[in-house]
């Protein structure tokens, strides 16, 4: 048996809906690997699922999709990894590989896709399993706790940067500055892109300054220049029109949240001149591999607070309240 935190019924996170139980240790299928989980990051998507912003697809459910661990057992057809190898598991658990989206490099849009900690059990447990082709080999040069947030904020941040289509010498605006934005900033600077950060939190303003943002200000401060692209991180629909008014002609606005409040664009001129809006939807394995390569080569970092396995319900409350310095990571075993 193994220890795990499970969600049986959705409820406000303040009611601590997760329950600590004993579950059977999972057995890997033919093309799967079993992972002994070492660390798992806590994501706001976990909170969206726990509270009912996203539907509960199975019950009981083990949340957690920023999973880092060691290969513990191989399925009979699994040959990609060796026992004891360090691996990561991200949000995308599986895609069909046959639909028009998978065949055009867009497996993140696969209608048959399965997601870690939503369709299948995730990483808030001592063991989990995953199809070997959807696990990421991880470097031994980066700590377990630093690797965990790379599995979601890191990879998702890289994908938002790709969607922004911003080029060397141009300026990218980041509205909000949490864990995902911190990785976007590092990727942008690695690609020679200037970054302006707009946020109302003094803590996040200082964090952006500490990480070397080229300009930092609040929503009341005028930007020093038009933005060639922008990314919105808070689920605040009213920010869309604000960002569009600061966007250069032909610029692109990326919406990063999983959910968002209603969006109103009162003036067509704000989106005219080939300005465009696109939403982030999941990740691909190519995103993960490309980001982890950059992270390893550039020595990317992000602030992390670590907690014990039994602290998870309280940590989820702190994440929702914005009381974590950077990324919350749970040590599983």
Cα 39 to Cα 42, 70, 121, 150, 236, distances in angstroms: 10, 10, 15, 12, 31
Spell out the CATH class of 155-279. Answer: alpha beta
Mean pLDDT confidence for 248-266: 95
Bond from prior residue into 299 cis (ω within 30 degrees of 0): no
Specify the CATH number for 2-142+299-331; select among 3.20.20.60, 1.10.490.10, 3.40.50.410, 3.90.180.10: 3.90.180.10
For the segment 39-83, what is each residue's pLDDT rounded down to a tens digit?
Answer: 999 999 999 999 999 999 999 999 999 999 999 999 999 999 999
- Residue 259: pLDDT band (50, 70, 90) is confident
Pairing of strands 32-42, 127-131: antiparallel
Query: What is the mean pLDDT of the segment spanning 304-315?
Result: 97
- Give the pLDDT mean for 249-253: 98
Q: For the chain, where do the domains classified as CATH 3.40.50.720 start and end? A: 155-279
78 or 298, higher pLDDT: 78
Please, where in the chain does CATH 3.90.180.10 lie? 2-142+299-331
> What pLDDT score does 301 carry?
83
pLDDT digits (tens, 9 = 90+) for 138-192: 988 899 999 999 999 999 999 999 999 999 999 999 999 999 999 999 999 999 9
> In which band, very low, low, confident or very high, does the pLDDT at 325 lie, cut at 50, 70 and 90?
confident
Higher pLDDT, 101 or 300: 101
Query: How confident is the model over 256-281, as a mean pLDDT?
Result: 95
* Mean per-residue pLDDT over the chain, rounded: 96
Query: What pLDDT, on the 0 to 100 scale, is given for residue 70?
Result: 98
Which pairs from 269-274 meet CB under 8 Å and 24+ separation?
270/241, 270/244, 270/245, 271/244, 273/249, 274/249, 274/250
Predicted local confidence at residue 333, as pLDDT: 76
HSE of 39 in the Cβ direction (CA atoms, 13 Å)? 23
């Amino acid at each position: 048996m193994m220890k795990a935190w499970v969600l049986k019924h959705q409820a406000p996170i303040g009611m601590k809906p997760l329950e600590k139980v004993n579950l059977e240790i999972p057995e890997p299928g033919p093309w799967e690997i079993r992972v002994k989980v070492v660390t798992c990051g806590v994501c706001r998507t976990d909170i969206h699922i726990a509270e009912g912003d996203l539907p509960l697809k199975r019950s009981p459910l083990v949340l957690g999709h920023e999973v880092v661990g060691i290969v513990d057992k191989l399925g009979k057809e699994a040959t990609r990894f060796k026992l004891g190898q360090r691996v990561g598991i991200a949000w995308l658990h599986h895609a069909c590989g046959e639909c028009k989206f998978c065949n055009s490099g867009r497996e993140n849009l696969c209608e048959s896709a399965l997601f870690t900690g939503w369709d299948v059990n995730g990483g808030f447990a001592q063991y989990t399993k995953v199809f070997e082709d959807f696990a990421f080999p991880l470097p031994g040069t980066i700590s377990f706790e630093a690797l965990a947030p790379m599995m979601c904020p890191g990879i998702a941040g890289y994908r938002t940067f790709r969607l922004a289509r911003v080029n060397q010498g141009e300026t990218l605006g980041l509205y909000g500055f949490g864990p995902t934005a911190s990785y976007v900033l590092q990727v942008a600077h690695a690609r020679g892109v200037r970054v302006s950060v707009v946020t109302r939190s003094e803590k996040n303003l200082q964090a952006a300054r500490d990480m070397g943002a080229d300009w930092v200000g609040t929503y009341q401060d005028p930007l020093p220049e038009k933005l060639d692209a922008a990314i919105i991180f808070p689920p605040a629909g009213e920010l869309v029109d604000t960002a569009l008014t600061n966007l250069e002609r032909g610029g692109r606005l990326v919406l990063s949240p999983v959910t968002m409040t209603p969006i109103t664009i009162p003036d067509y001129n704000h989106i005219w001149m080939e300005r465009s809006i696109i939403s982030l939807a999941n990740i691909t394995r190519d995103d993960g591999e490309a980001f982890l390569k950059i992270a390893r080569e550039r020595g990317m970092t992000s602030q992390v607070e670590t907690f014990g396995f039994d602290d998870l319900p309280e940590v989820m409350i702190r994440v929702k309240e914005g009381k974590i310095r950077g990324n919350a990571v749970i040590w599983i075993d």
